[in-house]
Amino acid sequence: MKFAEFKEEVKKAYAKMFPNSLCDVYIFKCLGRSIYIDCRLAKDNTEVANGIMGNDMFCVSMCINLPDKFDDDDDLPENLVMEWRSSFIKAKPESWLAYDAESIKYRKVRGDGKKIVKACDK
């Protein structure tokens, strides 16, 4: 599976549950290469307080490490590992805080691109 196909499949899986929300899938290049998947409830920064995406009440981010020599046109490796960077929903707190955060339960996923997409579809 190529990266472009993987990207579209992940976005399609997210759009099933949140059709008007942002799902950004990109290759991050810093000290190696990784695929980052950032999912939000807002569709862009016009829907969040002060225009800052960090103020979105829903933030789910995943990371998949890639080989250093990976190029956008290469096939994805068969042994991918998707790990979660952040997974929370901001909620109204019962205390003096402005927001409280509820953690979303997750599992690390290992496998090829199709298995990762299937996990995102859940």
Burial 106-116 (b: 16+ CB within 10 A, else e): eeebeebbeeb
To the nearest whole number, what is the mean pLDDT of the chain? 84
Antiparallel, parallel or unpaired: β 109-111 and 23-29:
unpaired
List the domain range (segments joined by +) for residue 68: 3-121
Q: Which two tokens stand for residue 14?
A: 């997210």
Distance CA 58, CA 102 (A): 10
Number of structural domains, the chain?
Answer: 1
Position 5, amino acid:
E
User: Is this structure's pTM higher than 0.75?
Assistant: yes
The fraction of the chain above a pLDDT of 70, given in percent, is 90
HSE value, Cβ hemisphere, 13 Å, CA-based, for 50: 3
pLDDT band at 24 (very low <50, low <70, confident <90, very high): very high
The closest alpha carbon to 21, from 78, 59, 68, belongs to 59
pLDDT at 73 > cutoff 90: no
In this structure, how many other beta carbons lie within 10 angstroms of the beta carbon of residue 14?
A: 21
Q: What is residue 16's predicted lDDT score, i.e. its pLDDT?
A: 92
